[in-house]
Amino acid sequence: MEITQTTQQIRLAPAEAEALVGLCGQLDENIKLIEKRLDVTIRYRAELFDISGENPEHVAATKMLLENLYREALANGQVTPETIHLYLQESAIESLTSSKNDNAGQLVIKTRKAFVKPKGANQQGYVKQIRKHDINLGIGPAGTGKTYLAVACAVEALEADRVERIMLVRPAVEAGEKLGFLPGDLSQKIDPYLRPLYDALYEMLGFELVDKLIEKNVIEIAPLAFMRGRTLNNAFIILDESQNTTREQMKMFLTRIGFGSTAVITGDTTQVDLPRGTTSGLAQAMHVLKGVSGISMTMFSSSDVVRHPIVQRIVEAYDRFDIEEEAEKKVRTQARLAAQAEHSSSEPSSGGK
């Protein structure tokens, strides 16, 4: 049976040598990556590109992807493999084949130094919920953008004067770490673990402005233990790593929310570092707050991971392992119960005289 090939040709304009080199990458590494991910063949001569493949949708998706990436190269001079991963993750093949006009209405978070574009439908829905609700839960694996987008929304709200300050909160629980051995007071001990939040703030506001806002307490870093007794009005509060809160801590945090405030609670229920037997406050809140008016809950999965594609595969591998391990535990438990029942039935009953 003869395999039918679909071919499309595009001319990238305006033709700029530096942008074309940036698009293709060193030794055509970007072209090879696109060919591998979309199962197509790309041949080019200057700004003229020929795309061929067995799947017409893949060919059309590649055409749109090259056009988007070329615009990126024109703006920034180069395209990295990470950028390609993000473009592919953002829309997948179905979205890449959609109309170019769809991108015109795409959700964007505008900050002083960056324009943040949520990647994919789930991230966009998450941002919309944050803008709409007072309390928002973002739950899912690492790399899904739940914390980064929360920081972007906080900066946007601060710059638009919708809130007067930003609070970054985190429980003082770490995997395999003892905070008591670190130098400094509790606030200083927890600072290194808030580095991802700092990095996001620096990217969106700049180093000098972030430091000034921290000095003025417009941006406040607070261990969760310091929140008791406070009422927070006109603030944007982010509770990160909330899977490591206890039930009491989560209730305490939720009842700190005051008028004009927005809270975003992020966490991953598969990475709880609490002592064995302690119920995660986030896990309980997912059930208690379900359906409560004014509260949104966004569930992320491995398909929403926007880091290197191998991160998504790692998350999926652990998910499969957890399911298999749970199934094995059930089998062992049923076998043990059956053995106990058989042993009990074989014992002679003691009769009374």
Instruction: Tell me which of 105, 130, 160 is where a domain ends.
Output: 105
pLDDT given at position 90: 58
Q: Please check whether residues 154 and 245 belong to one and the same domain.
A: yes
Q: Is 205 within the bounds of a domain?
A: yes
Instruction: Tell me which of 55, 72, 105 is where a domain ends.
Output: 105
Q: Inform me whether the pLDDT recorded for 99 exceeds 50.
A: no
CA atoms within 13 A on the CB side of 328: 6
Q: Please check whether residues 56 and 84 belong to one and the same domain.
A: yes
Domain count, the chain: 2
Q: Please check whether residues 19 and 71 belong to one and the same domain.
A: yes
List the domain range (segments joined by +) for residue 98. Answer: 6-105
Confidence (pTM): 0.60
pLDDT given at position 117: 82
CATH number, position 56? 3.30.1370.10
Q: Please check whether residues 195 and 270 belong to one and the same domain.
A: yes
Q: Please check whether residues 148 and 77 belong to one and the same domain.
A: no
Q: Give the percent of the chain with pLDDT over 70.
A: 83
Q: Is 329 within the bounds of a domain?
A: no
Q: Please check whether residues 138 and 24 belong to one and the same domain.
A: no
Q: Is 322 within the bounds of a domain?
A: no
Q: Which of 26-40, 182-196, 254-268 has the lowest mean pLDDT?
A: 182-196
User: 113-122, pLDDT tens digit by residue?
Assistant: 778 888 778 8
Q: Please check whether residues 52 and 86 belong to one and the same domain.
A: yes
User: 222-281, pLDDT tens digit by residue?
Assistant: 888 778 778 788 899 999 989 999 999 999 999 888 888 999 999 998 888 888 888 899
CA 322 to chain centre: 21
Q: Please check whether residues 117 and 247 belong to one and the same domain.
A: yes
Q: Is 177 within the bounds of a domain?
A: yes
> Crossing angle for the helix pair 17-24 and 29-38, nearest 10 degrees?
50
pLDDT given at position 235: 93
CATH number, position 245? 3.40.50.300
Q: Could you tell me which residues come within 8 angstroms of residue 7 by beta carbon, excluding any fewer than 6 positions away?
A: 50, 51, 52, 59
Q: Please check whether residues 20 and 121 belong to one and the same domain.
A: no
Q: Please check whether residues 157 and 294 belong to one and the same domain.
A: yes
Q: Is 309 within the bounds of a domain?
A: no
Instruction: Tell me which of 304, 322, 339 is where a domain ends.
Output: 304
Q: Is 113 within the bounds of a domain?
A: yes
Q: Which two tokens stand for residue 70?
A: 């070329």
Q: Please check whether residues 261 and 300 belong to one and the same domain.
A: yes
Q: Tokens 């180093």 belong to which residue?
A: 207
Q: Please check whether residues 99 and 235 belong to one and the same domain.
A: no
